[in-house]
Structure 1
Amino acid sequence: MSKSSSKSIDHAAPVLKALVIHPVRPLRGQAALEARDPNARLEEAVGLAVALDLDVVEALIAPLRVVTPATLFGKGKVEEFAAICEVEHIDVAVFDDQLTPIQQRNLEKALEVKVVDRTGLILEIFARRARTREGRLQVELARLEYERSRLVRTWTHLERQRGGTGSTGGPGETQIEIDRRLIAGTIVKLKKELDEVRRTRTLHRSARKKVPYPTVALVGYTNAGKSTLFNRLTEAEVLAKDMLFATLDPTLRTVKLPDGRPAIMSDTVGFISDLPHELVEAFRATLEEVQEADVVLHVRDVANPDSEAQARDVETVLSELGVTLDEGKTVVEVWNKVDLLSEDDRDIVEGQARRNDASAVSAVTGEGCEALLRRIAGLIDDSPPVEVSLAAQDGQALAWIYRNGRVLSRYDGPGGEVTLVARLDAQALGRFERQFPGAQVSAAVQSL
């Protein structure tokens, strides 16, 4: 008996068997140079499926030379997928790409299994993980925006139920119009509720500003270790799993800086490549914590070979939301998971971190975390700026200031000497003067 194409993913039912397919589209020029590694992308897609408790029986990379409008892939490839589904008793075929409604419907007919694209998969995960009222509202809004574009599938179902002929003006078309009106009305209602949530969050942020505590926001690719780092720095117990999208709703905690001052730290939703547009818009309110932060920690998984591409994806999504990781905002790149590197790779990465003004840490072992907290303290310190004069050979002292303080201005002399105006908290300044007694330190003439 053929599998029903109308069944949905039921998480209460026995584990469903899944086939995961990553289509590799033809790319040219700069897009080809910046393309994600197909193996890493396939591994990520498998992780998304596993996050929904699907049993991934087979996963494959499928080159896509020419896009077929009706089924994405050509007839031969679709028949190959259908054979796998039949032999392996597949229940769900996951396409790591964005399918059109027509493609999704036709693939379900051809494969005789439930077909889910990347957007649908991520939406399912978000719906399952959201815990707060705001998170649930955001996910529901994104789901409705997604479903509104796919009502053609409902139309086909109604034609089968009511004997429609597919011609315009039939009962199916009337039902689609009704569904669209209902969805549109619900979307308007959800947006109003989210506006109210935003107003409440704005009031809460205003109240925090009056305390006043500086704020630190963590951003990063999903599964980069943000929640583990958050727990390490704040000594909290936020859910931290080796799982994509383990954290969805923003979590706020107080962190105690090395000099005893408190700061508020926010752990936000993780990013992912090709994040569905519906979710980018829906999670705008959540990421307002990033826009309002005094310091942003961009957490990267340096043990992942796709770390550079993941960093670009994070910056792309933030840019869509109007948040730019540039000199206008204090951003620290935190290179996490150094404990997973080999000794040789670790030496290389730590050297690169120093040259790129990044902080290399292991959220699991705690290595580098105390230094990171000292750096945060220096970045948000309101102590008077100091002027530091360094000789050409004082490269270590120069790097130390960049790692532990906030450089406000810099002058490079003709002989290689450097004069900096920087902010350092009292403890950091004391350590600097003890460690580099040859440096000339004085109160800055101008306050920047």
Structure 2
Amino acid sequence: MMFGFRSYKSSVVVFLLLASFVVGPAFAQDYASMGISPLVKTADAMLKRGDYAGAIPALEEVIVRTIELTSAPGRETLQNSRFQLGRALFQVGESAEGMKIIEEYLAEEPRDNERLALRMMAQGHLDAQEWDKVAEIAGRLLDMPGLEKDDLLNANLLYGQARFRQELWEDCIKPLGYVVKNTKNGKIRQSSQIMTVRALVESGQWNVLFGLVRSIYRTDAKYDITLNITLMLAGKTLFDDAGEKEAEEGKDDYLNALFLYRMVLPREELIGFANKRISGLSAELAKRTKAGIKGTEIEERQAEIDGIEASLATLKDLPPYEDEVTFRIGQIYAEVKRYWEGYVLFDSLYEKDRNSDIGEAAILQSVLVLYDVGETDRAEERIIRYLDEKPDGQYARTLLSMMMRNNLIAGNLDKVAGLQKNIKQIPESEDVEEQKSEADLYYMQAF
């Protein structure tokens, strides 16, 4: 009998369907009927080819079969299967279940893979942000004798990160320093450096900090947004501390603050580098995704992009800081008696934007510098110009009071009397403190 093409095709489909019903069960993994050795071999084969999900049922069956055994080979098979099951569960994203199995593994003997098991446990707690447990397990790992370099590096990284997150600043510096010196991974080195900088700032270990910052600024890590924000905060801390000390005692703090402020990169430079980095990482991620990289690697790369974007958003939310940094540097120059360097910075800030708060503060500081160096005529000329331009300026009363007092002390009463018109130019204020200042000006006039 002859079959047409359509009839032949239908017959093939029917045959394949029937075959699947007849043959299918023979290909299913009937682990219950398999011996332990074949089960172990089957699981091992799956693990070797990366089929972690497929290996899980086989490993679970091995554990069920061997959990009551007391012989050394039986216990070894049980423990090895526990370890491999925990590892497989981690690989398929079931970390919580994997940690339970690894805990069982660590509670019994033998533990030939104890180091790797501890690393998995620590990583699981790290993902859950359980920092005390991360530190505990990483510390346990560090206490083990004869650690290989990879284990030692990983344990220090885990311990350092955990202590950093717990804000135990002094405890995290040494392990993070070990990571910086020994890792070959640029991303890990950079993140460890940034954490170390923060820890050194918080613990006040300035001398160590300065050495680290110098080394960082020879690399692209200097463009890290978190680093630059940290340096600004550190500079402010030192500046404020110096202001509470005697002049000579606070000089070192001022100079150290100056060093940190000068390391802060311009805002637009940081934004440009971050955007370029995001574009590069996104293009690389798209390329690697197309090539079929694993989900975990995709997540890691996306997390890096997300981290940069979060830092970038923080930076953009901040008001422009360059002028504030310049102002602080000018103040430091004035405090350490490098007057003209400070004056140049104050003058540039005032000329840049006379109406901003920093511009107003800069005119005051520039006048103070001129008085400090004995340039009284220039100081007064600057005050009069400011009063004529901005009789309602923030520091109109302060500068006028400064000029009047200086001339009263010098006995230049005609000059004091001649400033009456400047007093009258100042608009009335409802602020109590400003009213007191204005009354003081009239008092000096009357005097």
TM-score, normalization: structure 2? 0.23
Structure with bigger gyration radius:
2
More strand by share: 1
More helix by share: 2
TM-score, normalization: structure 1? 0.23
